[in-house]
Structure 1
Amino acid sequence: MSATPAAARPQVLVLAKAPVPGRVKTRLCPPCTPAQAARIAAAALSDTLGAVTSVAASRVLVVDGGYAVPPGWTTVAQRGGPLGDRLVGAFADTRAPGVPAVLIGMDTPQLTARLIGAALAPLGVPGGPDAVLGPAADGGWWALGLREPAHAEVLHTVPTSTPDTGRRTLAALRRRGLRVHLLPRLRDVDTAVDARAVAALCPPGSRFATAVAADVPALMAAAR
């Protein structure tokens, strides 16, 4: 039996910012300094890329800024202004005929290859769902997968970074006539409290957990 061509594999897209102090994880400040927040962001991105690298899929980092990706990855620059437009652009700029895509961010470093595989699997089942959506505890979403990436156009009309972004995204997908499979709810990292909670969920050897242990607990204790 011949191997599946790489071009026929589903795609995993990681939407991220280069971990530059003052441009990433600004809600960690305070208690973190911009440099500490950037180190935490870099660790989160590294763990996320590591988890995706373990999955049998084509891998694309859709990045704002410059970042050196591991072997086996390609990069695409983000385009557009508002986040919704950048999400649509990420799907459009990486689209391959007949190839489903799952997009995740860099805010859920507790992700494992198993969870990513669970997001990809339903999109490869004939007659299965048209989309998968992973709700986030803050009301947003951590993953969106589409059997046909062109359907990402619905995101143009969905407000982002609100407590009901996830609900509105689900409603927009269903209004388009798509069958949506819901993934497990995850907590993403916005604040220092989130960072500590998510670090406790990370697999052994997590760079994110190590960075949080180094840069967050003492600062939070001092702030009490």
Structure 2
Amino acid sequence: MPIVISVVIPVWRDRALVMTLLARMPARPDVEIIVACTIDEYDEFTRAVAGRTGVRAVVGTRGRGAQMNAGARVATGDWLLFLHADSQLPPEAFDEITSLSMDPRVVGGSFQFALDASGWRPRFMEWGTAQRTRWFGLPYGDQGIFVRRLVFERLGGYHEAPLMEDVDLVRRLRRAGRLHRSRLKVVTSARRWHRDGWFTRMGRNWLLMILYAAGVEPRRLARRYEGRRRRVVAVLARAPSSGGKSRLFQSLGIEPDTSLTHALLSDTVAAVERVHGVDRALVYTPAAHRAEIESITSRRWTCIAQPDGDLGERMAAAFHDLHALGYDEIVLVGSDLPTLPPALISRALHAARGRRPTVVLGPSADGGYYLIALRQPLDGLFHGVPWSTDAVFESTRARASALGLEVHLIDAWYDVDDAESLERASRDAGASRVADWWNAHRSRT
């Protein structure tokens, strides 16, 4: 039997919810289910859905819109149904969507919104959502938006913005044809309303909608929605147990030692923790090492997995990911800076504030740079750079000039890439874990 409906479920740290949702979904030969996850959760979800007929996992760039697009790209159904992981769909929903295939005027639709909580507050929220859908024709994503796949593809899918991707799609769908308003209810978890407060959350949602209608950029709204700051300092790292630092270990004359790479990254994380007034992120590879990375950082950090690639590709992707989260001033540092003074990071952030497009570089003694700061992604800055050579700094500086960017330099600092710099770090203030490793192992080096 051909697939009629492809259900796409975007997920982020939602395994328990997803498994509950899948267990309640009816087994139908005309329905396929696509779990759209990020790269760091792909192996986990692939194992979780193994053996379930008609269910598979796919990888998308982090972000609900991007993940739903990734699911839609592999879908084969005539209809796409985008369902949140904390929602429950009535079994009759599939028959209702299928019946709409006979009406070419209908390009998509949604269900009624319901919350899994008792009392007058959730009923009031449901009533308000029903009025918004009825009078303004703007269902949200937690109402189970469905759309003909060919129409979705013709419209270019979701805009991969960090917020309001559902509102944007619905607006475009209304111009393409008629939207069906089902009387069936999609029941959504009330956990966010319980956490934030019923009217606090409602007021915040309406404020965001008003600001969006007024033209405020979705990524700025996302920053407000998530409670993020404008500035972020990110560490670009490999998981300590995944290798790397070959030059350092060759200089020490020892076999690779995970305890040293762990100490370097932990002390670098601690150095970034000492910078005030910023958010913090750790951009890491390999993606499968999420648990190891999260054990090094606190819950206040954002951990972002990346696919493998050369250093330039990873740096470019890091700026894209962080900018998409709403950050306007982004500092990226390496993972081997255990003694990095917070003042240098603060200077870089200050230098990046200029009106002109600016790249801020912190040169290191080996011909590279230990820090780079930008206000927005600039892919061309990282093209054609001879990574892992002593020409990295000058090449990047030349690329910046060729792109018409103002280059601002801050003070030089050292990264730990050989025995001499490791010994220096062990003596300097701030690198307590590196000092402990050095004192315990220097007889071997």
C-alpha distance in structure 2 between counterparts of 1:209 and 1:199, whole Å: 4
Q: Structure 1's 119 and 31: CA in aligned 2 closer, same or farther, altered over 3 A?
A: same
Q: Which amino acid aligns with 1:16?
A: A
Contact 1:146 1:152 in 2 (8 A): no
Deviations, residues 102-143 of structure 1 (Å, cap 9, x unaligned):
10011221112222212212123x447712101110001100
For 1:174, the equivalent position in structure 2 comes to 401
After TM superposition, list the pairs within 5 Å mapping 1:122-201 onto structure 2. Answer: 122-124=351-353, 126-127=354-355, 130-148=358-376, 150-200=377-427
- Counterpart of 1:20 (choices 226, 238, 241) is 241
Whether 1:113 and 2:360 are equivalent positions in the alignment is no
Identify, as 1 or 2, the structure richer in helix: 2
Tell me which amino acid in the other structure corresponds to 1:32: I
Contact kept in structure 1, 2:426 and 2:438, CA below 8 Å? yes
Farther-moved stretch of structure 1 (39-48 vs 96-105): 96-105
How many angstroms apart in 2 are the aligned matches of 1:111 and 1:206? 13
**Gap change, CA 1:191 and 1:98, over 3 Å in 2:** closer
Equivalent-residue separation in structure 2 for 1:46 and 1:130 (angstroms) = 30
Structure 2 match to 1:50? 270
**Contact 2:285 2:308 (8 Å CA) reproduced:** no
Structure-2-length-normalised TM-score: 0.44
Q: CA deviation at 1:146?
A: 0.6
For the aligned residue pairs, the C-alpha RMSD in angstroms reads 2.1
Quote how far apart the aligned CAs of 1:163 are: 0.7
CA 34–80 in structure 1, closer or farther in 2 if over 3 Å, else same: closer
Residue 333 of structure 2 aligns to which amino acid in structure 1? I
Runs of 4+ with deviation above 4 angstroms: none
SS in 2 for 1:111: coil
Within 5 Å, which residues of 2 pair with 1:44-123?
44-55=264-275, 56-65=277-286, 66=289, 67-68=293-294, 69-96=297-324, 97=326, 99-123=328-352
2:339/2:430 contact within 8 Å kept: no
What is the CA distance between 1:8 and its match in structure 2? Answer: 3.7
Bigger mean CA offset, 138-147 vs 25-34? 25-34
Alignment partner of 1:33 is 2:255: yes
CA distance in 2, matches of 1:79, 1:116: 27
Q: Could you list the runs of 5+ residues in structure 1 that have no partner in the other structure? A: none
Whichever residue aligns with residue 33 of structure 1, its letter is E
Q: Give the Cα separation in 2 of the matches to 1:24 and 1:16.
A: 10
Task: Check conservation: 2:231, 2:327, Cα contact below 8 A.
Answer: no
* % identical aligned pairs: 35
Cα drift, residue 98 of structure 1: 6.1
Equivalent residue letter for 1:20: S
Moved more, 189-198 or 44-53: 189-198
Partner secondary structure for residue 134 of structure 1: strand
Residue 31 of structure 1 deviates from its aligned partner by 2.1
CA contact (8 A) 2:280 2:300 kept: yes
The amino acid that maps onto 2:338 is: P
Change in Cα spacing, 1:143 to 1:63, as seen in structure 2 (3 Å) is same
Alpha-carbon distance in 2 for matches of 1:94, 1:42: 24
What's the offset of the Cα at 1:151?
Answer: 1.5
Distance in 1 between the 2:430 and 2:311 partners?
32
Q: For residue 13 of structure 1, what is the amino acid of its counterpart?
A: A
Q: Secondary structure at the match of 2:331?
A: strand
**1:211 is aligned to 2:432:** no
Instruction: Tell me how far 1:188 sits from its aligned partner.
Output: 1.5
Gaps of 5+ in 2: 1-222
Residues 333 and 370 in structure 2, CA contact (< 8 A), matched pair in contact too:
yes
Distance 1:60 1:218, change over 3 A: same
For 1:71 and 1:62, the matched residues in 2 are separated by 14
Higher relative contact order (CA 8 A, sep 6+): 1
- Preserved CA contact (<8 Å) 1:51 1:112: yes
Is the 2:267–2:431 Cα contact (8 Å) retained in structure 1? no
CA distance in 2 between counterparts of 1:108 and 1:208 reads 11
Q: Aligned residue pairs: how many?
A: 210
Aligned partners of 2:424, 2:254: CA distance in 1, in Å? 16
Pairwise CA distance, 1:158: 1.1
SS of residue in 2 equivalent to 1:101: strand
